[in-house]
Structure 1
Amino acid sequence: MKKLIRDLLRSSWFQRAVGFLTAEFLRLVWRTNRFSFDPPDVYQIVEPLTPAIFVFWHGQHFLTPFIKTKEMHRAKVLISRHRDGEFNAIAAERLGIGTIRGSGDHGSAFHRKGGVGAFKEMVRALEQGYNVALTADVPKRSRIAGLGIIMLARESGRTIMPFAMATSRYWCLKNWDRTTINLPFGRGALVGGEMITVPPDASPEVMEELRVRLEATLNEATSRAYAKLGRPQVTDHG
């Protein structure tokens, strides 16, 4: 039975079907939630600074393909090579977002998980005018920002734009990142955090300071998003 389930999950037709259904469900969620924006002119602030590096917490990421506008339509998202990543990649591409496959982790598994190639591809995408989106968390350590994003900003010279998206109706899974499944027919909030630039000659000490600042601004933006909806914040502690 385990082999049957494993083979099913790996089959291309099953992955395509799940990706298709996921994309259409998320489209329904986006269209049936009434979103507010904080700050109200967030798009006017962001668009002149694109292409940029858009960053959000893992598990809070499902609606991020919908933040693009006509001026921000060129976008790629970093998605892991893990089997679950196949579903996300198919859904993202159906929603008009390009994909870069690999790990954002800069730990011991960086090379094995395709991190080097993915990092170079993200730099190239930014140079070509694409916005790049990725989660900030160190893999399997929820709400701990990794250094990889700071390295990407230093190498590319592009601005980091942290943000959070939340809906008033959701399911929260009991996994490592408290994955939030947004639900239709409610209210939503998109909250922008403090933008961060990284000097090209940033020292390791400066980069660590900026990593901590990124972590703090993502937490603050997430808290504001849930507060605007009058809902308890979803955290890795439940």
Structure 2
Amino acid sequence: MRSPTVQRVLGRTLAGYLKLVHRTSRIVHQDPLIRDFAVPNKPVIVALWHGQHLMVPLVRPPEMPFAVLLARHADAEVNAIAISRLGLGTVRASGAHRSKDVRRKGGAAGFLEMLSALGEGISMALTADVPRGPAKQAGRGIILLAQHSGRPILPLAYASSRRLDVSSWDSASVNLPFSRAAIVCGEPILVPKDSSDMAIEALRRRLTASLDAATAKAYAIVDGTTQAN
């Protein structure tokens, strides 16, 4: 386990690196929904796939306060320090596939903390897929958060032309400096408070498909296989 001093150094380094990536990259496409929908309808729940959430602090509208959901384990402390230095709050909890694991991982407390943040006007950014897989499959938690909070989900994908693909459970990519970057949103998703289990499952599948489509479009834009519009 890393010492707190090492974690702080690594967190500051990560924050500095993310700023470098942002400052040296040219955003060739920024979805108008970020400003046209997210700003007037704040707070919102921004949904991403794993491996893209660390860029959120650098692309959010400055007038929108945000918090990011991060895991409770020690390795996530570096990310929490970096996120804090980039001006966002954090909620610490972990998702789980089995209900009996939720309490052990702090999921219930994290869910209530996210509800509280949304109630205070703070938008939440969180990954829709649950560690450790299956990757790129939205879990029910984010749908339930939208149901109980009454706030819309905005699917979002970030891609860069220069990147390092990592062999990990989530097939994440490390964004590299001096890239072309694209930010693509899917259509906002509203979850009625009286949604049945069947409706929640349908919305979970819809979110999965929306994030897949946004991700594919973002990569197609930065890789030059489709034009930004």
TM over 0.5: yes
Checking the alignment, whether the CA contact within 8 Å between 1:106 and 1:147 is kept in structure 2 is no
Aligned match for 2:95, one of 99, 104, 113: 104
Cα deviation digits, residues 59-78 of structure 1 (max 9, x gap): 22221111222321x11111
Residues 1:197 and 2:190 aligned together:
yes
Specify the code of the residue in structure 2 equivalent to 1:83: A
What is the root-mean-square deviation in Å for CA atoms of aligned residues? 1.4
2:175 corresponds to: 182
Normalised TM-score (structure 1): 0.90
1:21 corresponds to: 13
- Distance change in 2, residues 1:40/1:152 (3 Å): closer
Specify the code of the residue in structure 1 equivalent to 2:116: R
Checking the alignment, whether the CA contact within 8 Å between 1:137 and 1:146 is kept in structure 2 is yes
C-alpha separation between the residues in 2 aligned to 1:41 and 1:61? 18
Describe how 1:23-42 pairs up with structure 2 within 5 A: 23-40=15-32, 42=34
| Aligned-pair identity (%) | 46
Further displaced range: 147-156 or 63-72? 63-72
C-alpha separation between the residues in 2 aligned to 1:39 and 1:187? 15
Residues 1:83 and 2:66 aligned together:
no
Q: SS of 2:105's equivalent?
A: coil
Aligned match for 1:48, one of 30, 40, 48: 40
Aligned match for 2:145, one of 148, 152, 155: 152
Specify the code of the residue in structure 2 equivalent to 1:191: V
The number of residues matched between the two structures is: 223
Cα deviation digits, residues 192-230 of structure 1 (max 9, x gap): 112100001000000000000000000000000000011
2:166 corresponds to: 173
C-alpha separation between the residues in 1 aligned to 2:52 and 2:224? 14
Aligned match for 2:210, one of 193, 217, 223: 217
Residues 1:116 and 2:108 aligned together:
yes
C-alpha separation between the residues in 2 aligned to 1:41 and 1:117? 31
Q: SS of 1:63's equivalent?
A: helix
Checking the alignment, whether the CA contact within 8 Å between 1:55 and 1:160 is kept in structure 2 is yes
2:119 corresponds to: 127
1:229 corresponds to: 222
What is the Cα deviation at residue 21 of structure 1?
A: 0.1
Further displaced range: 100-109 or 152-161? 100-109
1:3 corresponds to: none
Checking the alignment, whether the CA contact within 8 Å between 1:62 and 1:181 is kept in structure 2 is no
